[in-house]
Each structure stands twice: as C-alpha cells, then as structure tokens.
C-alpha cells in the first residue's frame, strides 16, 4: 500500500484503484463466487435431497413431479427403519468393528512404524520393502483365499471375521514411519543414556509425541472401516452381523419404489455420524490427508 | 583446522585447552559405545515391536496373496471350502478360459472407459477447484472446502442409494430439474447409453475433493515470491500456472493420480448397488465380474480375474509414473 504514495505520479483515479485492491484483499476474485457457489450447490444437492427425502411422508414420495420440501414432515421413515430392519444392532456392529479395527491399526502400525524409523535390526530393509510393496495391491486379489481362510477358521459367523483381516494394514505403517522419522534421534539417545529400556522408550516417549499422526490414522481407519462394504457383505452370514452399509445395500437391492423414504433415512443414519465427526475434526483431518499426500 | 586437531588429540600437558573440547568428545564417544552395546537390545526390541504386525500381515495378506495366485492356476471345481488344497494344477487354463469369455471383455471395456474418462475428469476438476479456492476466494473458504470434500467421506452404499433415488425417472430430482428447462430426462440407470456415464459423473463428484485437498496443500507450498517474480517478468495468469505452479504440483498430482487410478480400476460398489452390472452388462466392471464368479463358486476364475486386474493396476501405475514424473 505504501508503494502507492511513493509513486512519482499518482494514478488519475487513485480511489478506484484503492477500492479495487481492497475488494481483492477481502474477497479475492468476486466473479469466482458465482460459478464456485453453483458448483458447491451441485456437490451438496444429493445431501439436501437425502435429508429432505428422509422426512417425506408416503404421499410426497409418490408424488410426480417430486416436491423438494416435505409437505408434512414426518419421522415415520426413521421409526420403521429401526423397527423393521433392526438398524440398532447394525449400528452397534458398525461401531464395534470400526473401533476394533482402528485400535488394532493404531497399536500395531505405530509399533512397526517406530521399529522401521528409529531402530536398527537385521532384515529391516526387507521388512520395509515387503510391507510397502503390498501398499498398492488391491484388496480384491487376496479376497477369495481370505474368505476361504476365514471360513476355515470358523469366523464367518462372528464379528471377529469382519475385524481380524483389517487389524493391521501397510498404509498405517507408512504413515507412522513417515511421522516418527521426523522426531529427533537425540530424544531416544538421551532416554537410553538415562537407562530407559527400549520398549519403554516407545511407550513413554515416542507414542505421546505421535498423537497428531495417530489422530490422522485413527480417523482415516475409522472412516474406511465404517464405509467398508464388500468384505462384510460376503462374510456376514446373518442379520445379527450386518454392518450399516450391508443392511442398507440389501434393503435397497430388493426394493420397490415405495421404500424410498426408508432408504433415504437409512442413508442419513449411515452418513450422519461420519459427517459430524468430519465437521468436528475437519482441520486435523484435512491437515492429515494433505501431509500424507505430499510426502 | 590444524589447531582443532591438536586440541582434540589426547595430548598430555595442555589440559587447560582440552577441557573446553573434552566433555563433548567424551560424550560422543560414550554415545557411540552405548549405541554399539545397545544394538543387540535394539534389534530384539524391534522384532518384538514388529512381531504382531508381521504375524497378522503374513496371515491375512501374504498367505492369501500367494494362495490366490496358486488358486488361479488350479482346477477347484472338485474341491470345496473345507479342502482348499485338494486341487490339481492346470497351468494357465483359467486365464485362457477367462479371455475366451466375452462377458469378461465387456467388463474390461467398461472398466477401461470408466478409468480413462473418470480419472482425467477427477484430476482436472479437483485441480480447478483447488486453484479457484487458493487464488480467487478469500471469504467462506472453509465452507467451500467442506462442501467439496463432504462426498469423499461418505459411505459409497449410502451415496449409491441417494443417487438411485435422485435418478428415478419420474419422481427423481434430476429429471425434475431437467423438466424446468423443457428436457425430457431418460430413465438413467435403465438405459444402456446413460448408466455408465452416470457412474462416471458420480465418481468425479465423489472423489474430486481428495484431489482438491492435496492440491490445495501443494499450492500453499508454492512460494509467493516465485509468483511475484514471474508476474514482474510479464507472465500472464495462464503462463504462471503452467510454468510455475504446475511443475511444483507434479509430485502431488502423481500421487493422487496413482491412488485414484488404483481405486477406479477396482470400480465395484456403485454398479453392485445401483444396477448389478446392468442394463445388458453396460455397467459390469471387471471387479463385479470377479465377484460374480466368486458368488457362483468359480473361485479359480475369480482369482484369475483379480490377478488380471492387479496386472492392469501395475501397468497403469507405471504409465502414470512415466507421464507425470519430474523430468530431471
């Protein structure tokens, strides 16, 4: 701004130039708000449709052409969802599977991540390459034998069959190793000089310092497990083991158009917890995604 | 340099001078000795820390990986789940059978169309959103960011259900809006011309947020001074983007292209929930084909198909590295 006053000859219309600069500083490029706002509306339209549809009474659902705002909002869809489809137990299944998978990944991946980042041992490189090499292998490739394996372990009838194969994944190792590598070696050396035992160093010194990475990994793993569909669909043998996506998909596949409001209510139940978690932890989450993406 | 070396030599006599450098040196030597001594303990600790992960990894990743390959080379029709090893090797016969199956080619073609159209669109849309948000928008940035990212975190099944109702020919929102403009919308998912394009649009909608977030982080690491220097040199906005911003974004773009590409090649949930591969196999993807083989008890065909997809993923990834890698 000060450069303006030092210009040899002031601009003939200084006021306008200043005003335009002020607008640009507070708003950026004002003309961009319209197209971006339109794009934003397109992005969230399905969510608006979902919420409005889940409160629509039967009459509105059958109406052609459709109405956007329910004429007489009702929670009947939710009531039927929880009574007839047993969404309560599906919800509990989804939560317990996601929590168990998340806990497993946080523990096992940070342990190996620390060993790979800071400890010296024979075979370190081999372990690293082996684990990282599987990072891009699609789940589908191991799918069939994994099913045979889990079936032979008699686990297809229990939630354990949904949890065990996902307890430890290469992505978590990658993330934790990257993060722990950035912690100073001196910290570990100092602890050793003070007589701290190796495993205690990990537990008491490293783990508390990795909280940001653990938070990122935790959120990503929880979301991944919550939204996982194919595996629980195949392994779950009866309704008592269904997770939310499985229950929702099966409810929707054999459907007639009359169940439309219930399906949208089901979609809300599947999405709402995740949305709330995301809106709440948005900053940490985005930061985590961005840093893993850039390294 | 010479004075340094005389100082640190363990010479007798000039203890006064040595006292300044001594403790450091001694500490370093002790640190080294400690490290040598600790190496054994360290290795033991490392293996203790690695063991649980490696046990799970070997059981649920490596074993199935090898098993799957063997399975694709055997005839499992005589075996059942309880006796998975009671099979005979038949070499590449399953792969031959696979490539003689016209349905598999349809599935491959659909997957190829999906990846080749959806991947560039997703990358372009995500990049455009990131650039617009980074340079053009100052107010409500968080609102835009959250809105564009929201589809990423949602369950694909829930999303598929919602889109299915959106696309309902008579009572859906899409045809209602088209009707306002006097357009008679088709029966999207029941129409062989539109079912796959609809899923491409869905994929772009769902995934552009990931690209945007990673690109935004990349854009923030572009030094402002570099942009100003380019501006002073007379580079226009377009030139600044292609000459300054884009090269710096290339590693991030490569990463998102690879991860999104891997995901797209395994395209499954949307056709499974929305169309079951139909109408007339127009949305049958390679993964859905493998899944159907699995469902019919043709484990060996399912394994062979998934290994074909795996090879395609490797090929796509290598190609992307070739195209997008930094050219030094």
Indicate the pTM of the whole model: 0.80
Best mutation target among B39, B47, B49, B292 (most A Cβ atoms within 10 Å) is: B49
Q: How many residue contacts between A and B have a Cβ separation below 8 Å?
A: 312
Q: Pick from A108-112, A230-234, B81-85, B89-93 the range whose average pLDDT is largest.
A: A108-112
Burial of A138: CB neighbours in 10 Å, binned 0-12, 13-18, 19+: middle
B49 vs A contacts (CB less than 8 Å): 111-112, 114-115, 119, 199, 202
State residue A74's pLDDT score.
80
Contact: A165, B163; criterion CB under 8 Å: no
Contact: A121, B47; criterion CB under 8 Å: yes
Contact: A226, B162; criterion CB under 8 Å: no
Inform me whether the C-beta atom of residue A267 falls under 8 Å from chain B C-beta atoms.
Answer: yes
B265 vs A contacts (CB less than 8 Å): 138
Asked if pLDDT for residue A205 goes beyond 60, the answer is yes
Token code pair at residue B90: 């038949």
- If one counts every other C-beta atom within 10 angstroms of the C-beta of residue A103, the result is 15
d(C-alpha A5, C-alpha A54), whole Å:
60
Residue B9 binned pLDDT confidence (cut-offs 50, 70, 90): very low
Contact: A115, B135; criterion CB under 8 Å: no
Q: What does the DSSP 8-state code read for residue A96?
A: H
State residue A127's pLDDT score.
92
Element (H, E) at A153: none
Residue B82 binned pLDDT confidence (cut-offs 50, 70, 90): low
B264 vs A contacts (CB less than 8 Å): none
Q: Pick from A91-100, A212-221, A235-244 the range whose average pLDDT is largest.
A: A91-100
Q: Percentage of chain A with pLDDT > 70?
A: 87
Q: Where are the alpha helices (DSSP H) in A28-138?
A: 33-54, 58-62, 76-84, 87-118, 124-133
Residue B4 binned pLDDT confidence (cut-offs 50, 70, 90): very low
Contact: A244, B49; criterion CB under 8 Å: no
State residue B208's pLDDT score.
92
State residue B37's pLDDT score.
64
Best mutation target among B64, B218, B220 (most A Cβ atoms within 10 Å) is: B64
Burial of B107: CB neighbours in 10 Å, binned 0-12, 13-18, 19+: buried
d(C-alpha B16, C-alpha A294), whole Å:
52
Contact: B265, A138; criterion CB under 8 Å: yes
Chain B's closest residue to A281, CA to CA, is: B146
Write down the ipTM of this complex.
Answer: 0.80
Query: What average pLDDT does the segment A195-218 reach?
Result: 88
**Min distance A119 CA to chain B CA atoms (Å):** 6
d(C-alpha B3, C-alpha A173), whole Å:
48
Best mutation target among B23, B31, B60, B86 (most A Cβ atoms within 10 Å) is: B60
d(C-alpha B162, C-alpha A50), whole Å:
6
State residue A114's pLDDT score.
93
Inform me whether the C-beta atom of residue A127 falls under 8 Å from chain B C-beta atoms.
Answer: yes
State residue A273's pLDDT score.
83
pLDDT tens digit string along B121-178?
Answer: 999 999 999 888 887 777 777 888 888 888 988 888 888 888 988 888 877 888 888 8
Q: Pick from A82-91, B105-114, B276-285 the range whose average pLDDT is largest.
A: B105-114
State residue A94's pLDDT score.
92
> Which residues of A, range 87-126, sit inside 8 Å of B by Cβ?
104, 107-109, 111-112, 114-116, 119-122, 124
Q: Percentage of chain B with pLDDT > 70?
A: 86
State residue B21's pLDDT score.
57
Peptide bond into B279 cis (omega under 30): yes
SS3 category, A136: coil
Query: What average pLDDT does the segment B9-30 reach?
Result: 57
Residue B316 binned pLDDT confidence (cut-offs 50, 70, 90): confident
Contact: B63, A145; criterion CB under 8 Å: yes
Q: Pick from A4-8, B116-120, B149-153 the range whose average pLDDT is largest.
A: B116-120
Three-class secondary structure assignment of chain B: CHHHHHHHCCCCCCHHHHHHHHHHHHHHHHHHHHHHHHHHHHHHHHHHHHHHHHHHHHHHHHHHHHHHHHHHCEECCCCCCCCCCCCEECCCHHHHHHHHCHHHHHHHHHHHHHHHHHHHHHHHHHHHHHHHHHHHECCCHHHHHHHHHHHHHCCHHHHHHHHHHHCCCCCCHHHHHHHHCCCCCCCHHHCCCCHHHHHHHHHHHHHHHHHHHHHHHHHHCCCHHHHHHHHHCCCCHHHHHHHHHHHHHHHHHHHHHHHHHHHHHCCCHHHHHHCCCCCCCCCCCHHHHHHHHHHCCCHHHHHHHHHHHHHHHHHHHHHHHHHHCCCC
Chain B's closest residue to A140, CA to CA, is: B306
State residue A109's pLDDT score.
95
Region for residue B281 given its phi and psi (left: phi exceeds 0; alpha: psi -120 to 50; beta: otherwise): left
A248 vs B contacts (CB less than 8 Å): 155, 157-158, 161
Inform me whether the C-beta atom of residue A67 falls under 8 Å from chain B C-beta atoms.
Answer: no
Best mutation target among B165, B256, B319 (most A Cβ atoms within 10 Å) is: B165
Token code pair at residue B123: 């990358």
d(C-alpha B78, C-alpha B299), whole Å:
11
CB B99 within 8 A of CB B82: no
Compute CA B240 distance to the chain's CA centroid, rounded to the nearest angstrom.
Answer: 29
pLDDT tens digit string along A114-158?
Answer: 999 988 888 889 999 999 888 878 777 888 888 888 888 888 878
Contact: A121, B153; criterion CB under 8 Å: no
State residue A250's pLDDT score.
79
Region for residue A15 given its phi and psi (left: phi exceeds 0; alpha: psi -120 to 50; beta: otherwise): alpha
The residue to which tokens 């490290």 are assigned? B35
Residue A257 binned pLDDT confidence (cut-offs 50, 70, 90): very low
State residue B2's pLDDT score.
39
pLDDT tens digit string along B169-180?
Answer: 877 888 888 888
The residue to which tokens 């994994």 are assigned? A146
Query: What average pLDDT does the segment B304-328 reach?
Result: 81
């Amino acid at each position: 701004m000060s450069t303006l006053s030092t210009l040899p000859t002031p601009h003939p219309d200084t006021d306008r130039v200043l005003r335009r600069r002020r607008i640009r500083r507070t708003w950026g490029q004002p003309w961009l708000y319209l197209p971006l706002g339109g794009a934003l509306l397109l992005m969230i339209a399905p969510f608006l449709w979902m919420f409005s549809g889940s409160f629509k009474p039967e009459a509105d659902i059958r109406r052609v052409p459709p109405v956007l705002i329910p004429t007489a909002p009702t929670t009947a869809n939710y009531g039927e969802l929880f009574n007839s489809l047993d969404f309560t137990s599906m919800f509990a299944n989804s939560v317990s599977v996601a929590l168990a998978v998340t806990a497993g990944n946080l523990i096992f991946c940070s342990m190996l991540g620390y060993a790979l980042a800071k400890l010296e041992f024979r075979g370190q490189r081999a372990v690293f390459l082996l684990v990282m090499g599987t990072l891009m292998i699609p789940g589908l490739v191991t799918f069939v034998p994994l099913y045979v394996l889990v079936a032979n372990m008699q686990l297809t009838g229990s939630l354990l069959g949904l949890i065990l194969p996902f307890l430890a994944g290469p992505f978590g190792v990658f993330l934790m190793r990257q993060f722990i590598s950035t912690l100073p070696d001196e910290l570990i050396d100092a602890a050793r000089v003070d007589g701290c035992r190796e495993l205690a160093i990990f537990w008491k010194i490293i783990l508390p310092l990795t909280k940001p990475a653990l938070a990122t990994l935790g959120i990503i793993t929880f979301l991944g497990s919550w939204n996982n569909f194919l595996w629980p669909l195949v392994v779950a043998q009866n309704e008592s083991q269904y997770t939310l996506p499985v229950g929702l998909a099966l409810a929707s596949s054999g459907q007639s158009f009359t169940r439309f409001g219930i399906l949208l209510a089901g979609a809300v139940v599947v999405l709402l917890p995740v949305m709330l978690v995301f809106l709440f932890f948005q900053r940490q989450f985005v930061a985590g995604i961005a840093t893993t993406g850039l390294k | 340099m010479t004075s340094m070396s005389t100082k640190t030599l363990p010479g007798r006599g000039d203890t006064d001078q040595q006292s300044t450098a001594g403790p450091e040196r001694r500490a370093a030597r002790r640190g080294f000795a400690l490290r040598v001594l600790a190496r054994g303990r360290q290795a033991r600790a490392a293996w203790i820390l690695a063991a649980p992960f490696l046990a799970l990894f070997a059981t649920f990743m490596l074993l199935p990986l090898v098993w799957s390959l063997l399975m694709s080379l055997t005839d499992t029709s005589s075996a059942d789940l309880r006796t998975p090893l009671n099979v005979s090797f038949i070499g590449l016969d399953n792969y031959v059978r696979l490539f003689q199956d016209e349905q598999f080619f349809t599935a491959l073609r659909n997957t190829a169309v999906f990846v080749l159209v959806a991947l560039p669109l997703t990358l372009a849309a995500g990049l455009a959103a990131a650039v617009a948000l980074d340079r053009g928008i100052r107010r409500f940035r968080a609102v835009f960011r959250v809105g564009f990212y929201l589809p990423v975190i949602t369950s694909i099944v829930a999303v598929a259900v919602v889109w299915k109702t959106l696309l309902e020919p008579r009572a859906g929102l899409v045809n209602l809006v088209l009707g306002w403009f006097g357009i008679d919308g088709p029966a999207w998912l029941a129409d062989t011309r539109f079912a796959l394009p609809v899923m491409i649009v869905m994929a772009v909608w769902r995934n552009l947020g990931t690209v945007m977030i990673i690109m935004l982080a990349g854009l923030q690491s572009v030094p402002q001074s570099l942009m100003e220097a380019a501006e002073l040199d007379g580079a226009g906005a377009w030139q600044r983007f292609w000459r300054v911003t884009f090269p710096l974004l290339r590693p991030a773009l490569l990463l998102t292209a690879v991860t999104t590409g891997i995901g797209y090649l395994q395209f499954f949930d949307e056709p499974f929930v929305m169309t079951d591969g139909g109408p007339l196999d127009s949305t049958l993807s390679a993964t859905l084909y493998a899944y159907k083989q699995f469902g019919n008890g043709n484990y060996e065909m399912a394994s062979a198909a998934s290994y074909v997809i795996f090879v395609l993923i490797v090929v796509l990834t290598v190609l992307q590295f070739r195209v997008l890698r930094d050219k030094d």
